[in-house]
């Protein structure tokens, strides 16, 4: 940052700006806390309780690492595992289709069921003769 022009002049008529006092840093509690933190840092002692933000950031980082490991493990699947997964998905789709057909047949009106039975008996009679 550039220095102001009046800093070079030694004109006694000018009023020199003074740094504003930070009331937080001048408070006795803040000074004691800062001194205690410095001493603990020199001794190698960490504060007992981590700030909440730091805890959240560490948890996010751990979750991200776990997610990356899972993705890498998934990418390293063998051809056999991939083929088995495909077959499993096909079987699940077939089961879902069968369930849908059964539900449709159960929910069908009575006359549709009777008509289907008549057709089957008619076809069976034709095959026997």
Contact 10, 18 (CB under 8 A): no
Query: Which ranges of the chain does DSSP label H, i.e. alpha helix?
Result: 23-26, 28-43, 52-75, 79-107, 110-128
Contact 36, 43 (CB under 8 A): no
Task: Tell how far CA 111 is from the center of its chain.
Answer: 53
| Backbone torsions φ then ψ of 123, nearest 5 degrees | -70, -40
For the chain, the average pLDDT equals 84
Lowest mean pLDDT among 21-25, 66-70, 87-91: 21-25
Mean pLDDT of 34-55: 81
Q: Whole-model pTM above 0.75?
A: no
Model confidence at 88, pLDDT cuts 50, 70, 90, reads very high
Residue 60 is predicted with a pLDDT of 95
The yes-or-no verdict on residue 37 having pLDDT over 70 is yes
Q: How does pLDDT run across 48-75, given as a tens digit for each residue?
A: 677 788 888 999 999 999 999 998 887 8
Model confidence at 90, pLDDT cuts 50, 70, 90, reads very high
Model confidence at 99, pLDDT cuts 50, 70, 90, reads very high
Q: How far apart are CA 32 and CA 108, in angstroms?
A: 81
Compare 66 and 39 and report the one with higher pLDDT.
66
């Amino acid at each position: 940052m550039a220095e102001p022009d009046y800093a070079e002049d030694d004109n006694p008529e000018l009023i020199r700006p003074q740094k504003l006092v930070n009331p937080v840093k001048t408070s006795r509690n803040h000074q004691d806390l800062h001194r205690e933190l410095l001493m603990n840092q020199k001794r190698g002692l960490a504060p007992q309780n981590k700030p909440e933000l730091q805890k959240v950031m560490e948890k996010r980082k751990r979750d991200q690492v776990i997610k990356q490991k899972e993705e890498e493990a998934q990418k390293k699947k063998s051809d056999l595992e991939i083929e088995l997964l495909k077959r499993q998905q096909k079987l699940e789709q077939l089961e879902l289709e069968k369930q849908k057909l059964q539900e449709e047949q159960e929910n069908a009106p009575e006359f549709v069921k009777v008509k289907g039975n008549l057709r089957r008996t008619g076809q069976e009679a034709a095959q026997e003769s």
